[in-house]
Amino acid sequence: MILLLRKLLLDGCQEIGITLKEEQIESFMTYLTFLQQKSQEMNLTAIQEGEEIIIKHFLDSLTSLKALELQPGAKLIDIGTGAGFPGVPLKIVFPELQLSLLDSLKKRVGFLEDLCLKLRLKGVEFIHGRAEDFGQNTAYREKFDYVVSRAVAELGVLAEYCLPLVKVGGHFLALKGPLAGEELTKGKKALQILGGEVEKVITLNLPLREDKRNLVLIKKNKITPKQYPRKAGTPQKKPLE
């Protein structure tokens, strides 16, 4: 079974344009096993089958590289990372990335700390809290080259979580499903207010599947007004329109 899973990972990465080293393959296999084990104890993912984890979590996360041109030493924060997606797969492939993982649930942050220790990943910061709070924190506000997020909120709401953390000239990447066009239409005003502009939208199939995905890459062109993000909970209750 392990050989089949390794082949699945390699085939999917090849489709994206990634060649994995042996130690990276081993890291993904360790990640898979640890995620399955810990999901028995806590709600990390509803997906339990090894094949589905590889395709719907690992490979889906790595499609980010179709949109991002990561530079050595770049600072990237993953908002609402959950069980580490897409941040940890990106760190495995790009170990020189300076990665921050933010999640509002303490037990998930604990899982990520244990995971990265197990994977021997260096240069990872673990943040327990809300994006709205850290977006107003001068140690984090407009300090990141890249902010990424997957399966957290609609684009207009997500932009208020993420764009305040992006430095001017940096990028915010939202990993979206087939309805990204509708979200873009609804979120257009929010992007303008927050200082972002859509640079490109890449539509693709999930590797080894026919499921549609959209990578929405937004460039930060100007400073986010200081009143954003609003206090925790407000962006979701009263989206910018």
Q: What are 208-218's pLDDT values in tens digits?
A: 998 999 999 99
Per-residue pLDDT of the chain (241 residues; tens, 9 = 90+): 788 999 999 999 999 999 999 999 999 999 999 999 999 888 898 899 999 999 999 999 999 999 999 999 999 999 999 999 999 999 999 999 999 999 999 999 999 999 999 999 999 999 999 999 999 999 999 999 999 999 778 999 999 999 999 999 999 999 998 888 888 888 999 999 999 999 999 999 999 998 999 999 999 999 999 999 999 999 999 999 7
Residue 24, domain member (yes or no): no
Cβ atoms within 10 Å of 20's Cβ, excluding its own: 18
Residue 2, domain member (yes or no): no
Residue 163, domain member (yes or no): yes
Residue 6, domain member (yes or no): no
- Domain carrying residue 84: 69-237
Number of structural domains in the chain? 1
Q: Domain containing 190 — which CATH number?
A: 3.40.50.150
Residue 7, domain member (yes or no): no
Residue 15, domain member (yes or no): no
Contacts 24+ apart (CB under 8 A), 32-36: 32/5, 32/58, 34/114, 34/115, 34/118, 35/83, 35/115
Residue 47, domain member (yes or no): no
Measured CA to CA, the distance from residue 177 to residue 25 in angstroms comes to: 27
Residue 141, domain member (yes or no): yes
Helix (H) or strand (E) holding 127: strand 124-128
- 197 phi and psi, to 5 degrees? -145, 135
